[in-house]
């Protein structure tokens, strides 16, 4: 690691930041999936608590509306986090290519001018960049631990409100025959 070039260390730093961003995105996704499951459970509990005060049609309509809202929310979380991952991937890729291009341009500049100041500065900056990379690697590792803690056991956003489907038991009332 002592002979690493500044561009290599910088690319490691960029990749580490990208991994940290992906850990945060994963925590966002899992947290929202858990929120959806919690809302489903709360809705089912509210319907059960309402009991026979709701007609079968009202219960059916409420369950259908809740399912649609949950599906839209879960889909938006999925799309948002998938697109955020794509943005992070693209940003890391472009930043890495930019670092390589800047290093190549600096090399060409030094060759054409004969001035080696940029190489000297880059060599002097490598130890500081390596130290920052170590710190960022620790942050990345801790964000991974945090994302794993948040995830716990996998949550399913598409959990169905099964208990809410039941219609309340109807009492059979027999009409008395009048004489």
The predicted structure's pLDDT at residue 82: 95
pLDDT digits (tens, 9 = 90+) for 110-143: 888 888 888 888 888 888 888 998 999 899 888 8
Domain ranges of the chain: 6-165
Q: Are 43 and 161 in contact (CB under 8 A)?
A: yes
Q: Are 119 and 110 in contact (CB under 8 A)?
A: yes
User: Positive or negative, the Cα torsion across 46, 48, 53, 56?
Assistant: positive
pLDDT digits (tens, 9 = 90+) for 155-168: 343 333 333 333 33
User: Positive or negative, the Cα torsion across 101, 97, 21, 146?
Assistant: negative
Average pLDDT over residues 60-81: 92
The predicted structure's pLDDT at residue 157: 37
Quick count: other Cβ atoms within 10 Å of Cβ 60? 14
Q: How confident is the model at residue 4 (pLDDT cuts 50, 70, 90)?
A: low
Task: Quote the CA–CA distance of 99 and 105 in Å, as a whole number.
Answer: 10
Task: Quote the CA–CA distance of 70 and 109 in Å, as a whole number.
Answer: 57
- Assess whether pLDDT exceeds 90 at residue 153: no
CA distances to 97, 161, 177 from 170, in Å: 69, 21, 21
């Amino acid at each position: 690691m002592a002979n690493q070039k500044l561009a290599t260390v910088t690319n490691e730093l960029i990749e580490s930041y990208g991994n940290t961003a992906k850990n945060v995105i994963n925590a966002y996704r899992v947290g929202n999936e858990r929120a959806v499951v919690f809302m489903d459970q709360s809705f089912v509990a509210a319907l059960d608590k309402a009991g026979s005060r709701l007609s079968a049609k009202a219960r059916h309509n409420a369950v259908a509306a809740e399912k649609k809202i949950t599906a839209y929310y879960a889909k938006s979380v999925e799309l948002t986090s998938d697109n955020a991952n794509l943005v992070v991937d693209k940003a890391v890729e472009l930043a890495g290519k930019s670092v390589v291009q800047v290093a190549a341009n600096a090399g060409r500049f030094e060759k054409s001018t004969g001035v080696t100041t940029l190489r000297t500065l880059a060599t002097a900056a490598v130890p500081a960049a390596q130290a920052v990379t170590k710190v960022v690697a620790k942050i990345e590792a801790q964000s991974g631990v945090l994302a794993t803690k948040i995830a716990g056991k996998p949550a399913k956003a598409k959990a169905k409100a099964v208990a809410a489907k039941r219609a309340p038991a109807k009492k059979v009332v027999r009409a008395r025959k009048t004489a």
